[in-house]
Amino acid sequence: MDGINPALSPAEVRLERRIRAASRGRTLTPQERETLERIRPPQEYPVTLAIAPYEGSIAMLPVAQLYARAVPDLHTPEGADLLQVLWCPFDHSTGMPKTALFWRSAATVTDILATPPEPPAVQFDGYLPASCLLNPEQVTEYPDRRDLSKELREQIGDWSLWQAAETGVDSAYEIAPEEFYANELAVAPGWRVGGWPGWGAIDPHPLLCPTCGSDMDALLTIATFEADDGKSWLPHEEPAHEPSIGFSHTEVQIGSGYNHQVYV
């Protein structure tokens, strides 16, 4: 716990979300306001920071369940066709939740719990994912420009090359054409399986397995935000009558705006 944000129970987080959704576009009722203040009492500042772990063992939360048949880029170990991702609802030494991966064979998963165990509290309400269905889409992305050679970085910064290629780049990028590459072509936003790593919290550096010392590849990116309107790979929108899919940034928020990346 960070000494500022109250550690709420999953039930409190879900109740708060229901009230916020129901009151969107109107004023809170006195009862709703009272409930929200009970869940998240007003803070008196200044607050003394105190970082302390939650006492006792707690259940991890399910974050994603991916089937190989639905995600072609999910390279599973032999005999497995299902990946289950869980995380601890409290920050660890990395400043993010600790993640656990479970590779399984879907055919052997027969004893399914109707109500999975939940932790008594979560450090941030954004660490409690909302249940939803995923509709994976394959996209073509290019590496972060910091992963490119010096020669390629110079080329993507040359406005005349973009004009000669007749790519239809907006003239607003003339001052900094490398921003077009960064915004429209490199490192797709949102949740991703595989692909190129996005560098935000740290600078690019080799990521080595702590056990064998070999290079690690990005397996799963759990993003704070979905795609921006300016991205060239916006997902296909579902028809208006279809239920929404995927996670919105109001449901899963990681750290201070960084992506949580899992490597194997």
17 three-state secondary structure = helix
Nearest to 95 by CA among 215, 2, 9, 32: 2
Predicted structure pTM score: 0.72
- As given in the structure block, the two tokens for residue 30 are 């006195």
* Burial of 196 from C-beta contacts in 10 A (0-12 / 13-18 / 19+): middle
CA distance 170 to 179: 11
List per-residue pLDDT tens for the chain, 264 residues long.
555 667 899 999 999 999 999 999 999 999 999 999 999 887 655 444 444 455 667 889 999 999 999 888 888 999 999 999 999 988 887 778 888 999 999 999 888 888 888 898 888 888 898 888 888 888 888 888 888 899 999 999 999 988 888 777 888 888 988 988 888 888 888 888 888 877 765 566 777 788 888 888 788 888 877 765 555 666 665 444 343 333 333 233 333 344 555 554
* Burial of 155 from C-beta contacts in 10 A (0-12 / 13-18 / 19+): middle
Q: How many angstroms separate the Cα of 143 from the Cα of each of 75, 153, 222? A: 20, 11, 18
Helix, strand counts (H, E) of the chain: 5, 6
Nearest to 122 by CA among 253, 257, 262: 253
Taking the C-alpha atoms of 228, 134, 250 and 185 in order, what is their torsion angle to the nearest 10 degrees?
A: -20
- As given in the structure block, the two tokens for residue 53 are 């772990």
